[in-house]
Structure 1
Amino acid sequence: MGIPVRWRKAVSKYGWRWLLSALVTAVGVLYALNIWHSDAVVRLDNLLAGERMKLEAPVLDPRIVIVDIDGKALTEFGRFPWSRNVQAQLIRQLTEHYRVKAVGYDISFPEPDTSSGYGVLAKLAAQELRDVPLLQDKLNSLRSALDYDGLFASALRGQPVILGFNLSPDQVKGVLPPPLFSEADLNGRELLAYNAAGYEANVPVLQQAAAGAGSFSVVTDLDGVVRNAYLIQQVGEHYYPSLAVATSMLYLDALAVKPLLTESVDQLSQSQLDSGGYDALTILLRERKQRLIPVGEAMSTVVQFRGRGGPAGGAFRYVSAADVLTGRAPQQLLQGTLVLIGTTAPGLVDLRATPVNPEYPGVEIHANIIKSILDQRFKSRPYTAFVQEAGVILLLGLGLGLVLPLLSPLRSIVLGVSVIAASIGFNLYLYHVHDLMFNSAMLILVLFAVFVLNVAWGYFFEVRKGQALVSRFGEYVAPELVAEMAEDPEQYNMDGESRELTVMFVDVRGFTTISEGLTPKQLREYINLYLTAMSEDIRDSHRGTLDKYIGDAVMAFWGAPVAFADHASRGVATALLMQASAARLNQDFLARGWPALKIGIGVNSGLMHVGDMGSSIRRAYTVMGDAVNLASRLEGITKVYGVGIAVGAATRAAAPEFAYRELDLVRVKGKHEPVAIFEPLGLLADQTAQQQAELALWQQALAELRAQRWEAAHAALLKLPETTALYQLYRQRIAYYQSHPPAADWDGVTTFETK
């Protein structure tokens, strides 16, 4: 019995799409089963896991309070590290005044505190000042008050305080607390935990006085981000708790912590075994109660970061250590709580990169673990997760790849987007409701790839539209703008519209004389080098639209076809850049024996009509309107005032980050209303005090002139550089007005009768 005809037709029509979908799915399955690896997918999984964690809104836990050695505390009690007498005062406040239930220090004290100066005094009493009879007696009476370690130990003794220590590969400082258990207690069983060669712990007098100690070491991944933390660490033959475990034990009044191996099925539910991997911990409480902690590789746990961290993070209450030391903190905020002492002050190196915040307080990492222990809720990855992930990729990848070719384009898009959204939603459901962590990056990539493969015709259709757009706009705008437009060609067309834009006209000064002094070949190279440099400044440096060349003149505009809110700023910046480019070209031209190059630029902003304009024979994408005409007039006016650039008042107002020198009030041909024109000098922030003073003096001269106070105006101009063409022009004007006073109705406007 042969294959039905309709199936043969389907294979012929859709076979290649089914095959490609199957290949993509196979790659995903191989990755999920750890047969093939990709660092890029791992990074994407980490990124998605961080975003997933951010979606869980933090809920303030009143049981855990962070006493923060913050900037306020440093201001009131001096720089860190504080003397141990201050730490003693802090502990007495917390335990005796505020009556907290447990304290965990995210700080270690590996060296004795000699800041009291007692050692120096004792040395003086034994040597240089040994003949002073009362000094030794006085020193003995002060000994206890100046023994800061003793004061701190006295405050710790008998109080529920856990000190912190750090694991180290190359040093041994201080003493460790009594271990939780040792290798001998495991009866020959192997417990894989992080094994440190050394440690930086606390001085004996403090450790012996404290209720215990815990390691505040965390796991930093290769990308520098903290995602996991060890709950148990090994030093030599002994196992020690983390700061979070030790402080939780104290808060819960626990008797001991013991490891449970997977073989102890009678003590763990299957879900706990699945989520915990090979091992788990149990915190033994009184009255035969216990709390189970699922753990992963090397007795670690995934940190569930709540909120974005810090006092404004919303998960834990922060209280400044200054307010605790002075008693300003309200009693009800701290009484009966578990307190962690740490720091968020900049420069104290306890901010860690985490999936939710690149500067996350290290002390809050321990707070998050403690909350998980108290709530008995841990985010954990099932031991069989890789098999489940591979099965889901296989099912959804093949299913989507099989169905999509049979659907219309619209239904294909709806189904593809729905399946991807549903897979993401189910992953979030498992994470937030059941605390189960599954990787989702490869599943999303497979589904997306299958979806794209099966709607490729639409993609290629858009590419063809984009290519048509490139051919239409490629000569006008920069390549990166064309690429941006090609991504969404529906938004762009050549239809006429009115829009606020900035337009520029550029012209070479004395081009007729230049052309007469060069051979045709030299003139072609001269103009080509000039136009190329100007066009690059317009298109490539500031993403302008190159309108046209008019002989040696250039016309350009900003704000269309791609809209820019800062079109005026781009136009002014381009004009300044073009003058700099012209100066560089001029040096080259003079070195070749060619005529000097000088250009004039007119820039104006305003409402213009932009679009595809012309005749049935030839058309162009260009701008028209009064604002365009004014820019053309401004280019010509630059010659009168001896400046390289002239801009209109609208451009000046729209680009306030530049410094401008007002040139005049002018009435150009074809317009009755006068307009103010300006010369841009550069960025306002770059102007020196001398330049600013010159501008102020120039503005004063203009004001005096317009008030017809000729002597005062002339006096101001005499203080300005004599070589500046603009100032020379105004000196001549003043001399003329002094001998030929203007009419009584003179408004200070210069009228131009020619273009």
Structure 2
Amino acid sequence: MFSSKKLVRSVALSACLIVTFALSYVQFDTISGDAGLFKRLEYLMYDTRFNLSLALKPKFENPHNIIIVDIDETSLLKEGRWPWSRDKVALMIDQLANAGALVVTFDVLFSEKQINPTDRLIEVLNKNDQPNIADQLTQFRSQTDYDLALSEAMSQIDVVLSILFGEDEAFEVGQLPMSLIINEQIDVSRLMLRNAHGFTSNLPVLMDSAIGAGFFVPSVDTDGIIRSVPLIQKYNDKVYPSLALATGMAYYVIEDISINSARLNQFTDIVQSIGFVDQTIKTGAIGDVLVPFAGPQKTYPYISASKVLTGEGLEQFENSIVFVGTSAVGLSDLRSTPVGTQYPGVEVHANLLDGLLSDHFPYTPDLSGKLMALIMVIIGLVFSIWLHRFGAMNILGLTVAMILLHFGSNFYFWHYYALNLPMAVPLILLMSLGVVNFIEGYVKEGQSKKKISNMFGQYVPQAHIEKMLSSQGEYGFDGENKVLTVLFLDIRSFTTISEQLSATQLKNLLNDFFTPITEIIFNNQGTIDKYVGDMVMAFWGAPIDDDRHALNAVHGAMAMQEMVIQLKPEFDAKGYPDVQIGIGLNTGPMNVGDMGSSFRRAYTVLGDSVNLGSRLESLTKFYGAQIIIGPDTYEQTKDTYACRLIDKIQVKGKDEPIVCYEPVCLLQNCTAELQTELDDYHHAYQLYCTKQWGEAEIELTKLEKNGTRAFLYRLYLERIVELKEQDLEDAWDGTYRHTSK
């Protein structure tokens, strides 16, 4: 057993070692570029923070009228497989030009000539010894030269084409556009840009008609997700723009940009910012920027290419910037991004262009690495010198508070100032040091049989205590995952009750109430978790295993309701106000164990199933029910208890709906009249779920007049009145979403 001083020294040493390891690893990770654990965690936190920030922002308004013409599945079905004939693409451009589009950018390549059908026909005629007819067809060649037709269409509007840069030096297809004009003092050969060795571009006849072109393959992080994209790239010591930058330059009718660089070493310069129009865009060392995603897929308007070809809805293209790309799965332009895993690449360019036009890009400060090191040193000092003095639960609370403080401040600078500051490594460090210090507080707490007895005597029946003490090795209290049943009981209108009584009377009322409640829990093999004011929390199935934990919990809940009735005469005699309770029960996987300090310990359950039990208790008043049980509790007790389906609900913070029930009575005590009422109600509920409003109202009205749960039936009648006025989706299944806890 460690002495306190030795334990403190061990914890302090462990904290120092953890901080040293974290600093060393991060430094190595920065220098080597290795995609290690920390970097992957940083990516994960970046994505989480990005999506949380988007959820808090107002709806995107598309201020620059950027529209995506989508070569989607519908277009392929109507117009045929891609690539389409160039005359069809020319028609699309004509339609957009006539509709008033300002710039049209193609996120596709036109690198190969289209075979002229007249040439093919002449070839066939010559092979069949019909040269006269072939000579006559020659005059029609220009009319079926669809590459030329596309070039002529492009000359009527500003069109930006795409370039695909690659690593193969022998691979040079098509014609490159003019390189960017940049400030003369920049030595391009020294710039640390992505350097291409080959390219695939478009036909010269098309490039001559286009106003510009840009590369269209963005960079991908080591986990396969696009978060940043270079705005410029090198080829043969010349600088070329990205597709978004080329589109922005076409929109502003400019040919040059400026580059602000800094000396890295005697051979290399890094990019610090790019001057675009009157903006200074801060970039990474290779001229890359974080993509300012405005939202998930289809945040920008998507118009099917087939509609453009038929002239449908062209009025929305007036004064627009159009990107032509594809969301069709078969055309392989779907990317993984922080805001979606099936995100069309064309919309990445749209987001980048919006960032250029709005002068809004997230930015990683140059001092972010040093800032992260400083944060980690401060965290290490706090945990090593100060935090270990507290007990385990206080350490846990302070650790959580520090985590929330770090996350909150980091998120604040991201959300309001678009600053990308390090998040994952300090969080991991906080959790690691919190665990080390928590273990210290935990180890310092006593483990003797007497302490076990003192701790659990107020929570579990004496029979449980005796069994635990006699088989101590079988029971671990460090925490384990088990399927248990949890119960939450709350006295309704407790604030009103407390206002009517003195402090002494209120204490006596609670004592008189909780004593028989505790006895019922113990008699039904339950474990008291805690009393909090007017609330009781208990669970079944731990620390002693109980295969009937759900049934015993429902037995206990029903007995509690009977006890409230039995206590009424006694409470009336003492002048106490009327007491009513609501009970929520839920069965599911939970983490159970005891935690605490030398001053106080608690044997408790944690997890989503526990939270749901608490939510169910809070819903008893909403549905006018005395007891509400979760779906798993119902499945384990339906052969013993007659139950009334309450609702299919989606509680706040959960995506999946659940069906909750109200136990009515033991099946053996269920009268024919009550069973008929239950059957009629369940039938009415099915009518409600299938949107058969009229029939459901008739059934529920009858039940409201003659049934035992008029409050519930009236609730559904009121809900139907509201739902009738709503445009419910076809997949609506009756789920009611509760927006408060």
Provide TM-score, normalisation by structure 2: 0.59
**Structure 1 unaligned spans of 5+:** 1-8, 265-275, 502-542, 544-558, 572-603, 609-624, 629-755
CA offset digits 1:400-457 (Å, max 9, x no partner): 4432223344443332211110100111111121211122111001111122222225
What is the aligned partner in structure 1 of residue 616 from structure 2? Answer: none
1:229 Cα shift? 1.4
Equivalent residue letter for 1:242: S
Q: How does 1:67-466 map to 2 (within 5 A)?
A: 67-95=69-97, 97-114=98-115, 117-131=117-131, 133-137=132-136, 139-170=137-168, 171-181=171-181, 186-187=186-187, 190-262=190-262, 278-283=271-276, 285=277, 290-309=278-297, 311=298, 314=299, 316-331=300-315, 333-456=316-439
| Structure 2 Cα separation of the partners of residues 387 and 447 of structure 1 | 18
How far the C-alpha of 1:298 sits from its partner, in A, is: 2.2
Closer, same or farther: CA 35–196 of 1 in aligned 2, 3 Å:
closer
Contact 1:62–1:337, Cα closer than 8 Å, also in 2:
no
CA distance 1:499–1:29, change in 2 (3 Å): same
Equivalences for 1:271-670 in 2 at 5 Å?
278-283=271-276, 285=277, 290-309=278-297, 311=298, 314=299, 316-331=300-315, 333-456=316-439, 483-484=481-482, 491-492=539-540, 493=542, 494=544, 499=551, 605-607=639-641
1:422 alignment partner AA? L
Q: Using the alignment, how far apart are the partners of 1:152 and 1:38 within structure 2? A: 45
Q: Structure 1 counterpart of 2:274, which letter?
A: L
C-alpha separation in 2, matches of 1:435 and 1:211:
33
Structure 1 Cα separation of the partners of residues 480 and 396 of structure 2: 27
1:48 equivalent to 2:48? Answer no
Q: Aligned equivalents of 1:38 and 1:165: distance in 2?
A: 29
Which residue pairs with 1:677 in the alignment? none
Q: Residue 291 of structure 1 aligns to which amino acid in structure 2? A: Q
Q: 1:435 to 1:188 in 2, by over 3 A?
A: closer
Stretches of structure 2 that go unaligned for 5 or more consecutive residues are 453-463, 487-526, 530-538, 554-588, 590-608, 614-628, 643-664, 669-741
Superposed CA deviations along residues 220-242 of structure 1, whole A, max 9, x for unmatched, are 22322222212111122322111
Which residue of 13, 18, 22 corresponds with 1:24?
18
For 2:125 and 2:208, how far apart are their aligned partners in 1? 30
Distance 1:113 1:566, change over 3 A: farther
From the superposition, tell whether residues 347 and 13 of structure 1 become closer, same or farther in structure 2 (CA, over 3 Å): closer
Which amino acid in the other structure matches residue 374 of structure 1?
Answer: L
Shift of 1:218: 1.0
State how far apart, in whole Å, the 2-side matches of 1:485 and 1:458 are. Answer: 28
User: How far, CA to CA, are the matches of 2:173 and 2:442 in structure 1?
Assistant: 64
Larger radius of gyration: 1
Q: Please state whether the residue corresponding to 2:217 is helix, strand or coil.
A: coil
Deviations 1:32-65 (A, max 9, x none): 4337977112111111111111123261314211
The structural deviation recorded for 1:129 is: 4.4
Residue identity in the other structure for 2:330: G
Superposed CA offset, 1:235-264 (max 9, x none): 223221110110011112224123222379
Q: Is the 8 A contact 1:354 1:360 kept in 2?
A: yes
Report if the CA contact (8 A) 1:90-1:324 is conserved. yes
- Cα distance in structure 1, aligned partners of 2:209 and 2:320: 21
Quote the offset at 1:355 in angstroms: 2.3
* Alpha-carbon distance in 2 for matches of 1:121, 1:405: 88
SS where residue 219 of structure 1 aligns? Answer: coil
- Deviation for aligned residue 1:345: 1.2
| Count of residues in correspondence between the two structures | 493
Distance between the aligned counterparts of 1:88 and 1:228, measured in 2?
A: 33
* Identical positions, percent: 27
CA contact (8 A) 1:93 1:324 kept: yes
Q: Distance in 1 between matches of 2:388 and 2:140?
A: 89
Q: Deviations over 1:248-307 (max 9, x none)?
A: 11112224123222379xxxxxxxxxxx97432212x4xxxx222222132222222231
Q: CA deviation at 1:128?
A: 2.1
TM-score calculated relative to the size of structure 1: 0.58
Tell me whether 20-29 or 99-108 shows the greater mean CA deviation.
20-29
Q: Give, as a single letter, the amino acid of the residue that structure 1 aligns with 2:195.
A: N
Q: Deviation at 1:134?
A: 4.6
Report if the CA contact (8 A) 1:88-1:152 is conserved. Answer: yes
Deviation per CA, 1:569-603: give whole Å up to 9, x if none: 9x9xxxxxxxxxxxxxxxxxxxxxxxxxxxxxxxx
Q: Does the C-alpha gap of structure 1 residues 404 and 182 become closer, same or farther in structure 2, counting only changes over 3 Å?
A: closer
What is the SS of the residue equivalent to 2:46?
A: helix
Q: Distance in 1 between matches of 2:433 and 2:185?
A: 54
Q: Distance in 1 between matches of 2:236 and 2:28?
A: 33
Q: Is contact 2:188–2:238 with CA below 8 Å preserved after alignment?
A: no
Q: In 1, distance between residues paired with 2:133 and 2:550?
A: 96
Please say if residues 474 and 482 of structure 1, whose CA atoms lie closer than 8 Å, have aligned partners that are also in contact. Answer: no
Matching residue of 1:509:
none
State the alpha-carbon separation in 1 of the partners of residues 293 and 188 from structure 2. 36
Contact 1:217/1:230, CA 8 A, preserved across alignment = no
8 Å CA contact 2:175–2:204 kept in 1: the answer is yes
Does the aligned pair in 1 maintain the 2:392–2:442 contact within 8 Å?
no
Cα gap change, 1:204 to 1:498, in 2 (>3 Å): closer
- 1:66 matched to 2:65: no
CA contact (8 A) 1:181 1:240 kept: no
Q: Deviations over 1:500-526 (max 9, x none)?
A: 99xxxxxxxxxxxxxxxxxxxxxxxxx
Q: Any idea what SS the aligned residue of 1:297 has?
A: coil
Cα–Cα, structure 1 residues 328 and 475, in superposed 2: closer, same or farther, change >3 Å?
Answer: farther
Letter in 2 for 1:238: K
**Residue-by-residue CA offset, 1:523-567 (whole Å, 9 max, x unaligned):** xxxxxxxxxxxxxxxxxxxx9xxxxxxxxxxxxxxx9xx999579
Q: Give distance in 1, aligned partners of 2:441 and 2:320.
A: 61
Task: Write the distance in 1 (CA, Å) between the matches of 2:126 and 2:193.
Answer: 50
Whether contact under 8 Å (2:293, 2:348) holds in the other structure is yes
Q: Distance in 1 between matches of 2:68 and 2:321?
A: 8
**2:175/2:202 contact within 8 Å kept:** yes
Distance 1:203 1:372, change over 3 A: same
Any idea what SS the aligned residue of 2:387 has? helix
> RMSD of the TM alignment (CA)?
4.4
Contact 1:499 1:607 in 2 (8 A): no
